[in-house]
């Protein structure tokens, strides 16, 4: 009954919006690469959200987690400010169940599945595509809840920006591109630093210790984007992004600092003919985090080497076929932990078909992956859609996905905390979604009703005989919900809003999954005058359970953010952002207990002001 009511209300609202929208400025049609080739967002038959460079610069947001927190179905839980750990829940699934790519290159830590979102510099980002649902048939392991594809800068002019703000924050960044005949060379760079603040709430009765300090952060980064059009031989490109830096955090009993050095690089070739598009890419990446602060340094390092070839064949104006192969090597050999097997290979092949006659749409992709030690995983993604008219598209998709166990799960040795399980199996998921999208005049509207069940979840179980934790496939979780999104130009203002209802449960216990809000609302209203644009953003998160150790409920909260840009001269723009305008105090995660039994939590970003200038030439 709830789904029927929501669907009816959504269709009614969509039709009513479309009547008024024709009178206002039209919204740009969006092209996405959700299926690894360019197509209209309305024909991708998936829920796709896009953040482009213009939105990033208008909002003046300083880091990637804050950008992602405005997307429907995405909830960010931060353990403090810049440089601190971030958990990203996509439709209730944990961070490790979302595949994160930079220019199509995997960047997660293969030990834990975590991604250092806070260390991906915003100045390097041209565009982010967030594709939700089971996408393993197209992208492989980890794409259980969805995929974040971060596309790096493709500057259209020379730009240098400087920003300063709270806690001695400083950011210098730039981007440029030059072209000569068939050669194009672009680059971006950035330097970001802050003294930070004390990220964990302290017990007023406890003595002052080493964690009563500021937790600072620094990030240095550089990226290149080179392409050469060899005409009849195709286009060659080289994309690379590098960053290193340092951050402090609070840890009463061990290391409380870390150094990071991350990079991704891809050499790609694309050749188009009348009916074929051929793509080949060789990529290399490293995700390295070294925990420091004591005499014992713990290194977590993942190196990947990947080759992929795929082709897209246009059979006729309605049908396209795709096929390809992928080879991936993951190596943890530079980590300080010991493994009986420190590297593994995966071999995959995939085929698919896409149909679009202008009214009826369908696609089917199947893939088989063969990971060393873990066996074969077969997945598929299927979707059906209909364009009811030139404005309205209905979609229904169903797919399966998996996440390969980490080498740590299967082969760690000499660990004081963990024992391996060589029989560990991949986690598996089944995903269903119904969607409705409307694009008409000045309105873009989307409804998604989704269900995602993850089986064979890997959980570390305490073994009393050894006093260590052993991973087993013991759990199952189901995440169901509804997303409503609206982008509207009306009454001289731009409105962008989304509302998410989520029911995420542990199938074994029936309990709500921890730290997930069951209701989230984001709303941004903006206005542009001759030389000034201003936007006000609101984020609401409902109450949510903490992890079982704290056995409490974390309160709901609402945060407001304000940003403005003013064009002083044709080449010079001034900008400002006020984060957490009302200085709201709230808790996103527990960190311990005070002596009187009160819960202590991670301190969120308080009210902070950032001002800067951008020079373009």
Q: What is the pLDDT of residues 407-449, one digit of tens each?
A: 999 999 989 899 999 999 999 999 999 999 998 878 999 999 9
State the pLDDT confidence band at 21, using cuts at 50, 70 and 90: very low
Chain mean pLDDT for the chain: 92
Output the pLDDT for position 8. 52
For residue 366, what are the β-bridge partners? Answer: 351, 380
Tokens of 554: 């974390």
Tokens of 135: 């996408």
Output the pLDDT for position 440. 84
Q: Is the pLDDT of residue 611 over 70?
A: yes
For residue 132, what are the β-bridge partners? Answer: 146
Q: Is the pLDDT of residue 20 over 80?
A: no
Between the alpha carbon of residue 159 and those of residues 164, 179, 530, 567, the distances in Å are 17, 16, 22, 14
Non-local (6+) Cβ contacts of 383 within 8 A are: 45, 46, 361, 362, 363, 364, 395, 396, 397, 398
Query: 184 with 156: CB under 8 angstroms?
Result: no
Non-local (6+) Cβ contacts of 413 within 8 A are: 338, 339, 340, 420
What letter would DSSP give residue 603? P
Please indicate whether residue 289 or residue 41 has the higher confidence score (pLDDT): 289
Work out the average pLDDT over 565-588: 95
CA distance 103 to 151: 5
pTM for this model (two decimals): 0.93
Share of the chain above pLDDT 90, in %: 84
Q: What CATH number does the domain containing 270 carry?
A: 2.40.170.20
Q: Is the pLDDT of residue 11 over 70?
A: no
CA distance 63 to 556: 23
Tokens of 83: 């440089």
Non-local (6+) Cβ contacts of 481 within 8 A are: 73, 91, 92, 449, 450, 500, 501, 502, 503, 504
Query: Domain residues for 11?
Result: 2-616
Q: Is the pLDDT of residue 380 over 50?
A: yes
Tokens of 67: 């950008």
Work out the average pLDDT over 26-32: 64
Interval 107-160: pLDDT, tens = 999 888 889 999 999 999 999 999 999 999 999 999 999 999 999 999 988 999
- Report strand pairing: 98-102 vs 146-152: parallel
Output the pLDDT for position 463. 92
| Range scoring the smallest mean pLDDT among 5-9, 272-276, 454-458, 566-570 | 5-9
Interval 244-258: pLDDT, tens = 999 999 987 889 999
Output the pLDDT for position 209. 86
Between the alpha carbon of residue 256 and those of residues 79, 116, 248, the distances in Å are 14, 16, 6
Q: What domain count does the chain have?
A: 1
Q: Is the pLDDT of residue 16 over 60?
A: no
């Amino acid at each position: 009954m709830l789904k029927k009511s929501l669907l009816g209300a959504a269709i009614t609202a969509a039709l009513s919006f479309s009547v008024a929208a024709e009178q206002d400025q039209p919204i740009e049609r969006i092209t996405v690469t959700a299926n690894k080739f360019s197509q209209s967002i309305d024909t991708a038959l998936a829920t796709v959200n896009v953040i482009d460079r213009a939105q990033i610069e208008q909002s003046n947001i300083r880091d990637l987690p804050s950008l992602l927190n405005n997307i429907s179905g995405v909830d960010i839980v931060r353990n403090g400010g810049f440089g601190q750990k971030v958990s990203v829940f996509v439709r209730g699934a944990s961070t490790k169940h979302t595949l994160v790519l930079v220019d199509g290159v995997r960047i997660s830590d293969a030990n834990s599945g975590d991604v250092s979102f806070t260390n991906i510099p915003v100045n390097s980002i041209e565009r982010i595509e967030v594709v939700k649902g089971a996408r393993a048939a197209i992208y492989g392991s980890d794409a259980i809840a969805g995929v974040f594809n971060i596309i790096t800068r493709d500057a259209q002019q020379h730009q240098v920006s400087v920003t300063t703000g709270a806690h001695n924050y400083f950011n210098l960044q730039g981007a440029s591109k030059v072209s000569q005949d068939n050669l194009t060379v672009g680059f971006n760079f950035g330097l970001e630093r802050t003294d930070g603040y004390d990220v964990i709430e302290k017990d007023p009765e406890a003595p002052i210790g080493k964690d009563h300090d500021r937790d600072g952060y620094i990030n240095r980064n550089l990226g290149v984007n080179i392409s050469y059009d060899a005409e009849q031989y195709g286009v060659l490109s080289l994309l690379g992004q590098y960053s290193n830096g340092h951050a402090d955090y609070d840890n009463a009993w061990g290391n409380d600092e870390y150094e990071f050095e991350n990079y991704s690089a891809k050499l790609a070739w694309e050749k188009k003919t009348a009916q074929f598009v051929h793509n080949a890419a060789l990529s290399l990446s490293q995700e390295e985090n070294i925990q420091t602060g004591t005499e014992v340094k713990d290194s977590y390092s993942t190196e990947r080497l990947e080759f992929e070839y795929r082709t897209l064949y246009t059979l006729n104006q309605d049908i396209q076929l795709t096929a390809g192969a992928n080879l991936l090597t993951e190596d943890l050999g530079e980590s300080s932990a010991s493994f009986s097997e420190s590297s593994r290979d995966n071999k995959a092949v995939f085929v698919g078909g896409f149909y679009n006659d202008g009214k009826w749409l369908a696609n089917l992709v199947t893939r088989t992956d063969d990971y060393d030690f873990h066996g074969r995983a077969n997945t598929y993604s299927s979707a059906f859609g209909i364009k009811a008219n030139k404005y309205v598209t209905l979609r229904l998709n169903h797919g399966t996905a998996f996440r390969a166990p980490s080498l740590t799960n299967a082969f760690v040795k000499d660990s004081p905390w963990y024992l391996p399980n060589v029989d560990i199996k991949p986690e598996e998921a089944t995903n269903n979604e119904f969607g409705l999208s409307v694009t008409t005049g000045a309105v873009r509207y989307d409804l998604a009703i989704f269900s995602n069940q993850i089986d064979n979840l890997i959980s570390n179980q305490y073994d009393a005989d050894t006093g260590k934790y052993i991973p087993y496939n013991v759990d199952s979780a189901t995440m169901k919900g509804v997303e409503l999104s609206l982008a509207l130009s009306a009454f001289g203002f731009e409105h962008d809003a989304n509302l998410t209802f989520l029911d995420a449960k542990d199938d074994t216990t029936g309990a709500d999954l921890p730290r997930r809000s069951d209701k989230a609302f984001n709303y941004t209203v903006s206005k542009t005058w001759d030389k000034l644009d201003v936007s006000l953003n609101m984020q609401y998160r409902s109450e949510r359970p903490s992890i079982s150790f704290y056995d409490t409920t974390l309160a709901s909260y609402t945060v407001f953010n304000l940003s403005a840009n003013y064009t002083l001269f044709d080449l010079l723009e001034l900008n400002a952002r006020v984060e957490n305008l009302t200085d709201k105090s709230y808790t996103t995660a527990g960190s311990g207990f005070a002596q009187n039994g009160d819960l202590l939590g991670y301190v969120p970003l308080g009210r902070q002001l950032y001002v800067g200038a951008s020079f373009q030439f």
